[in-house]
Amino acid sequence: MLVVTLFTLNSVLLFLSALLRSPSITGFQSNIFQDKALLSLSSKWTDNIAFKSFEEQLCAEPIDIVYTWVNGSDPRQIEALAKVKDELDLEHENTTGLRRCNSTQNPAEDNCLKDDASANRYIDNEELRYSLRSVEKFAPWVRRIYIVTNGQIPSWLNLDLPKLKIITHSQIYANKSHLPVFSSPSIETQLHNIPGLSRRWIYLNDDVMFGSPIWPSDFYSEARGQRLYLSWPVPNCAENCPSNWLGDGYCDLACNNTECDYDSGDCLNSVSMRNDNSNWWWANSANKDTPNDNYCAKGCPDTWIGDKYCDRSCRQAECGMDGGDCGANVVWESMGGLPVTREDKNITMESGLRSIYFNLSIPENHEIISASYDNNRLVRSAVVLQKSKVLVVVFFRNTGNANVTFDLDVKAPANGSSVAATPGEPDYVFNFTLHFEAVNGSGTSTGNVSSGNVTTGSPAKRYIGSEGTVDSPHPHPIPDISPDPSPSSLSTPSPTSTPNSSPTSWQTRYSRYGATATSPVFSGGATTSTPTTKKQLDNYGESLKYVNKLMTAKFGAEARRVPAHMPHFINTPVLKDLLDTWPKQFDETSSHKLRSPTDVQYAFAYYYFLMNQKIDYDFDNYFDEHFDTDKDGELSPNELRTLIMTMNGGAMEQSLYLNFREVNFVLCLNATNTTNSTARHANVSAPVHPLEPLSVDLNSTNSSETNETVTNTTKPPPKRKYTPDEELPRFTKEYIKNCTLAKTKIDTFGKKQKRNKYEIIETDDVAFVMIGTNSSDVRKALDGIRNKKHKFICLNDNMNHSNPHSIEVVKVIQEFYKSFLPLPSSYELPPNVTNKYFYIEEKLKSEEEIESRKSVIYKFVVIMLLSLFCLATICTRTSDSFNSRFGNTQNERNARIKRLNQL
């Protein structure tokens, strides 16, 4: 009996011990200890003078990493991709008559569509293995890693680690009809649906890795917001139509098409083109063999000059110090210049000049309302700096014997005011002509440029923006540099080649940026070509144009740039706002099984939405939070000053401040509070600019004598008598609400305020290499990375792996990987050990079978234990009954024997 009981108890103890050692129970105990630790830690964050936790501001919240990965070498993947491509090709051929190019065809020559879903794009070079090594080495603070696949599993991946999880497409796609999918833009639209994903996370392609230690502050900080790494410009919406022409108030012929939304509305309801010296025409240069030079310096395309971004590669004299984008002081300090007066009609200069600035003798209070020049084959770009009245001109490399005339229309102040009146007809024209004389008597270009047929008579562009830019973004080198002929002698043009005009030049520009960012010694040797008919860019380039068009329609035209190829930091709340803004476009992108020209490019759309997202404006909240600092419901003179300076964007002269306050607040409130006031009266109308006050003669009681003119914030208006601070009315919130002029100004300013903080970062820490089949070029680029050890590295496989030279290139890449990250990570299986599963469903099925077997074993053990317990109970009872019966009989016999003995 005792033996049976001991055996039963020992079995129960063994079962409980095994149960307690199970992962679920262990995890439960671990969670308890972690909760206690966090509770202790949270008390430390409240140990401050405010007795409240600032943990969110002082510490980075948990951040996950999300990878997208596919093994294009998998036969099952190849077969599925080919099936989808055949179905889509048949559909596309029925609608357009075009089929997808094969490996030997060229879209421009064979009238076929470029294959952006080529199997070469998905060949696995084990980039993910080395990317994970870089995460473990340089970003060990990451919480979890999610790898999104179509179900494939890397053969070398250790799946037993709790911090790594494979996510399948079916787990994150809400609309299962979109599956299967072979398009990364489609997959990207669903990444935020990963179960358990952190609020802020980092998205990486498998060909992206870290090259040196990084921290969350490399992506985001509470003080400065998100750090945005921008690279090269988005391709133009149409040939010869740069982004700074869109929505500038002029109808531009090159932009008057559906792709550019009819010049962002400039050409809607337009009767005719502007009739002035801009010469809206193109010359026919089909018979001329002219070189194609679209870069003023290495890494600086002409369209970057004067685009309101300070570009490091353009900040040199050959590019006019980026056309003043880096500041007028940089132009004055680093370039040669000449003062020019209205009497200087002819200026002679030596040939070979690359750039110069002209200090125009135009009064500060005069306004340049338009500008043009007449020799676009000589001038690469020209920019007017409105505030400083400086003209920055960049010329082509060899000017030869040539002339160019500049015409600037200037508006003078009206009625003796200190500033120019409303733009209209110019009061005078400021013009002068440059005469270049070749020192050697020859105008022959000696530059090393590619050849191609380009248009040489593209028109100069009249454009005056907020900085008064005069930009001619159709640069063309100069074999013949005589002034442009008259418009009557010109004929219909042939298409023009620009950095954005053809797939060849797009790819060249794309790879040039990558080479420049990777290594200063790398140089490309590709040539550009001029198509005879309009051709689409690759799907990636076309989709960038598509998203740029969406952004322009929503936020207005601007020169946008493509995010660098690197890890992208995503804030899920901002991303969801983006998805809610364009739900139809994102759903269509999700439905595309292969890349499409109408894909929403994920990072590009996210970056520019984040930069342009406005606050949820409410007047009451905005007034209370930003201006009513003492929370008494009204603005003191001190608070009112803060409001005006904030709206002005900086300090202003005291007289300007008083003038602005008097017109926009004092007079308005007095008129609101008194219905029949005669003490102070002025006939006031709204200023032309929200922050430009009106000069009002407060001493005059006759409204007809009131001098109503727009003042200039750069010079104080004439002295006036203003209301002293102690006599100011009470600027309560309700009074300001009833003052249309003041409230409109505050509303206009408040609605423009952006919700998200951000800073644009130079791409010095980003290395991007477009891998081709030239092993020498690839080795040179990778050596640049070895030297600098950039924080973010992307090796983009653009090889044709059927090319025999690709074998050598792959060898070079593997050598680089092994030298850069030689030690295996914990995410890898030991050498010579591979996963026995190729797909996650195989692993899940096996795990289900194992769990099923475990369940059967557990049930069997429980039944056996119960059986043993019951058997032991029955045996014990039987023994007691036997002993009881046996004992009673023996006692009776003993009693009988005892009685007999007594007798």
Structural domains of the chain, count: 4
Cross-strand partners of 459: none
Number of separate helices (H) and strands (E) present in the chain? 25, 26
Per-residue confidence (pLDDT) for residue 584, from 0 to 100: 96
Residue at 28 is within a domain? no
The CB density around residue 523, as the number of other CB atoms within 10 Å, is 12
Instruction: Look at the alpha carbons of 126, 127, 128, 131 in this order and tell me if their dihedral is positive or negative.
Output: positive
CB 744, CB 689: distance < 8 Å? no
Concatenate the DSSP letters of all residues of 420-484 into one string: B-SS-S-SEEEEEEEEEE-TTS--------EEE---S-PPP-----TT-----------SS-SPP
Query: At which of 492, 512, 537 does a domain end?
Result: 492
Contact residues for 36 (Cβ-Cβ < 8 A; gap 6+): none
The CB density around residue 792, as the number of other CB atoms within 10 Å, is 24
Element (H, E) at 369: strand 367-373
**Domain match, 472 and 488 both:** yes
Largest CA distance in the chain: 166
**Domain match, 315 and 458 both:** yes
Per-residue confidence (pLDDT) for residue 540, from 0 to 100: 87
Instruction: Look at the alpha carbons of 480, 482, 487, 488 in this order and tell me if their dihedral is positive or negative.
Output: negative
For residue 695, give its domain range.
634-751
The whole-angstrom separation of Cα 263 and Cα 241 is 9
State both tokens at 423: 């733009």
- Alpha-helical regions (H) of 451-582: 503-518, 539-555, 572-581
State both tokens at 740: 């249309």
Residue at 251 is within a domain? yes
CA distances in angstroms from 751 to 616, 686, 833, listed in the order given = 8, 19, 60
Residue at 484 is within a domain? yes
CB 226, CB 756: distance < 8 Å? yes
CB 778, CB 769: distance < 8 Å? yes
The whole-angstrom separation of Cα 772 and Cα 769 is 9
The model's pLDDT over 371-408, given as tens digits with 9 standing for 90+, comes to 888 887 888 888 888 888 899 999 887 667 788 899 88
Give SS3 for 238.
strand
CB 202, CB 210: distance < 8 Å? no
CB 586, CB 189: distance < 8 Å? yes
Q: How far is CA 645 from the centre of its chain?
A: 31
Q: Quote the pTM value.
A: 0.64
Query: At which of 820, 837, 856 does a domain end?
Result: 820
Give SS3 for 541.
helix
Strands (E), 245-397: 290-292, 295-297, 300-301, 337-340, 346-350, 355-360, 367-373, 379-385, 390-395
The whole-angstrom separation of Cα 517 and Cα 766 is 7
Parallel/antiparallel/unpaired status of strands 225-233 and 346-350: unpaired
Contact residues for 47 (Cβ-Cβ < 8 A; gap 6+): none
**Domain match, 657 and 803 both:** no
Cross-strand partners of 793: 209, 767
**Which residue type sits at 171?**
Q
State both tokens at 340: 């020019």
Query: At which of 465, 492, 519 does a domain end?
Result: 492
Residue at 7 is within a domain? no
- Burial profile 378-416: b = 16 or more Cβ within 10 angstroms, e = fewer: bbbbbbbbbebbbbbbbbbbbbbebbbbbbbbbbbbeee
CB 391, CB 306: distance < 8 Å? no
**Domain match, 370 and 471 both:** yes
The whole-angstrom separation of Cα 593 and Cα 88 is 9
**Domain match, 639 and 739 both:** yes
Residue at 449 is within a domain? yes
Residue at 602 is within a domain? yes
**Domain match, 103 and 171 both:** yes
Binned average pLDDT, 10 residues per bin, the chain of 903 residues: 53 52 46 49 73 78 95 83 79 53 58 55 81 96 96 92 94 94 95 97 96 95 93 85 77 81 74 31 28 71 80 87 87 88 87 88 86 83 88 82 87 61 72 78 33 29 32 33 32 32 38 34 29 53 92 89 95 97 96 92 97 91 86 86 82 83 75 43 34 35 34 43 76 82 84 92 91 91 92 91 88 93 94 87 82 84 85 74 62 75 75
- Burial (0-12, 13-18, 19+ Cβ within 10 Å), 872: middle
**Domain match, 286 and 390 both:** yes
* Closest by Cα among 329, 323, 334, 321 to 381: 323
The model's pLDDT over 671-723, given as tens digits with 9 standing for 90+, comes to 555 433 333 333 333 333 333 333 333 333 333 333 333 333 334 444 456 77
CA distances in angstroms from 665 to 14, 372, 658, 884, listed in the order given = 85, 41, 10, 110
DSSP-derived secondary structure letter, 630: T
**Domain match, 268 and 376 both:** no
Per-residue confidence (pLDDT) for residue 515, from 0 to 100: 34
**Domain match, 574 and 703 both:** no
DSSP-derived secondary structure letter, 663: I
Gyration radius (Cα) of the chain, Å: 38
Q: Cis peptide before 180, with omega less than 30 degrees from 0? A: yes
**Domain match, 76 and 97 both:** yes
The whole-angstrom separation of Cα 198 and Cα 575 is 13
**Domain match, 766 and 732 both:** no
**Domain match, 189 and 100 both:** yes
Output the domain CATH number for residue 771: 3.90.550
Q: How far is CA 771 from the centre of its chain?
A: 23
Residue at 254 is within a domain? yes
Residue at 663 is within a domain? yes
Per-residue confidence (pLDDT) for residue 887, from 0 to 100: 58
State both tokens at 245: 């022409």
Cross-strand partners of 559: none
Per-residue confidence (pLDDT) for residue 872, from 0 to 100: 79
Parallel/antiparallel/unpaired status of strands 145-149 and 164-168: parallel
CB 208, CB 566: distance < 8 Å? yes
Q: How big, in percent rounded to 5, are the helix, strand and coil portions of the chain?
A: 40, 15, 45
CA distances in angstroms from 591 to 27, 293, 497, 571, listed in the order given = 40, 41, 34, 24
